[in-house]
């Protein structure tokens, strides 16, 4: 599979840490020390994952080497839907007149983007699609409870769009070497560690310590598995993009793998935890700066639990 074009949308508003002092009693220094977050992106009231996804598509279009109407599979990947019937996939199909495409919504917490990538791989393998569009977006601010001292200060909003084809469409396209996902719902604290119940408290993370521990375990494990499977060594890895949940998680992984900090790409300090789009967003933000031959790993861990990784050769 090949990445034909990427685009992203990040709302302009930033909410700094000081905002939370009167809401949940957490100081700016406390938040930054424990999460690495200094500010987070916040969508406008009239924005949602559908509108943000459209903006991400528009951002990608100037770099797309074919007509968007050739897309035959559209997947909206998110855990914070605006509309569970007319999803971002269907709205994009309408907006750009994409007549001959399957359109669906997929949710697997913060693994949603990588699960969507694996679904695309399956459709390609079955011969049921050749050009796909993944819309990854979350509007966490629509569901976050800012007075919650455990998780109310974490969340940001954003969207990314990835155009992917079965065959190479242009000479400079990055190749998705391999993708792997896994459900971890069997783990002891998985079902209740993180949840989003719109009518019952919004986004909550009652088992944050367990989430931290599992993320530190599975995100590096995923990358090592794919590197070995595909004949690469860790030294050949150019960049490591982890789910943007907590800078302490990324620092822990850097120590485990003995990788220099410059190999870790991140945006959590400015944008907060943007949810299922976070790792895809980091890639899209850096897409024009990758050099030919760079090997990039994306790895995630999400509530439920769910996990996954992919390797990209630029």
Query: Where does a domain end: 103, 138, 165?
Result: 165
DSSP of 151-180: TTT-B-EEEEEEEEESS--STTPEEEEEEE
pLDDT in tens, the chain (314 residues): 999 999 999 999 999 999 999 899 999 999 999 999 999 999 999 999 999 999 999 999 999 999 999 999 999 999 999 999 999 999 999 999 999 999 999 999 999 999 999 999 999 999 999 999 999 999 999 999 999 998 899 999 999 999 999 999 999 999 999 999 999 999 988 888 887 888 777 888 888 889 899 999 999 999 999 999 999 999 999 999 999 999 999 999 999 999 999 999 999 999 999 999 999 999 999 999 999 999 999 999 999 999 999 999 99
Q: Could you tell me if 37 and 61 lie in one domain?
A: yes
Q: Could you tell me if 185 and 299 lie in one domain?
A: yes
Tokens read off for 208: 């944050």
Instruction: Give the residue from 20, 50, 52, 48 showing the smallest Cα distance to 35.
Output: 20
Query: Where does a domain end: 139, 165, 191?
Result: 165
Beta-carbon contacts of residue 13 (< 8 Å; ≥ 6 apart) = 41, 42, 43, 44
Note the Cα 224 to chain centre separation in Å.
Answer: 20
| 299 and 242 Cβ atoms separated by less than 8 Å | yes
Q: How many CB atoms lie within 10 A of CB 72?
A: 17
Could you tell me the residue range of the domain that residue 135 belongs to? 2-165
Q: Could you tell me if 101 and 148 lie in one domain?
A: yes
Q: Could you tell me if 303 and 223 lie in one domain?
A: yes
Q: Could you tell me if 181 and 261 lie in one domain?
A: yes
Q: Could you tell me if 218 and 93 lie in one domain?
A: no
Residue in this structure with the two tokens 């949308």, named with its chain if needed: 9
Q: At what angle do helices 247-257 and 208-229 cross, to 10 degrees?
A: 40
Q: Could you tell me if 14 and 146 lie in one domain?
A: yes
Report the C-alpha gap between 183 and 158 in whole angstroms: 24
Q: Could you tell me if 146 and 31 lie in one domain?
A: yes
| 220 and 302 Cβ atoms separated by less than 8 Å | no
Number of domains in the chain: 2
Q: Could you tell me if 85 and 234 lie in one domain?
A: no
């Amino acid at each position: 599979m090949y990445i034909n074009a990427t685009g992203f949308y990040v709302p302009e508003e930033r909410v700094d840490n000081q905002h939370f002092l009167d809401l949940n009693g957490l100081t700016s220094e406390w938040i930054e020390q424990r999460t690495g977050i200094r500010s987070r992106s916040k969508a406008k009231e009239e924005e949602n994952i559908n509108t943000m996804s459209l903006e991400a598509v528009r951002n990608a279009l100037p770099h797309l080497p074919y007509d968007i109407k050739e897309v035959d599979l559209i997947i909206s990947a998110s855990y914070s839907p605006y509309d569970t019937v007319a999803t971002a996939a269907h709205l994009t199909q309408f907006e750009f007149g994409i007549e001959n495409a399957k359109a669906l919504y997929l949710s697997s917490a913060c693994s949603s983007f990588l699960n969507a990538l694996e679904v695309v791989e399956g459709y390609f393998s079955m011969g049921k699609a050749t050009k796909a569009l993944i819309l990854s977006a979350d509007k966490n601010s629509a569901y976050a409870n800012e007075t919650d001292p455990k998780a109310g200060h974490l969340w940001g909003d954003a969207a990314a769009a990835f155009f992917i084809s079965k065959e190479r469409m242009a000479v400079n396209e990055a190749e998705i070497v391999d993708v792997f996902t896994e459900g971890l719902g069997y783990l002891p604290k998985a079902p209740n560690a993180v949840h989003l119940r719109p009518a019952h408290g919004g986004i909550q993370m009652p088992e944050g310590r367990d989430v931290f521990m599992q993320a530190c375990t599975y995100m590096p494990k995923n990358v090592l598995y794919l590197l070995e499977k595909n004949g690469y060594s860790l030294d050949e890895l150019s960049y490591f993009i982890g789910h943007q949940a907590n800078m302490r998680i990324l620092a822990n992984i850097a120590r485990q793998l003995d990788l220099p900090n410059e190999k870790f790409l991140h945006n959590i300090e400015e944008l907060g935890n943007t949810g299922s789009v976070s790792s895809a967003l980091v890639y899209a933000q850096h897409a024009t700066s990758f050099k030919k031959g760079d090997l990039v790993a994306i790895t995630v861990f999400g509530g439920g639990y769910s996990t996954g990784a992919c390797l990209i050769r630029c």
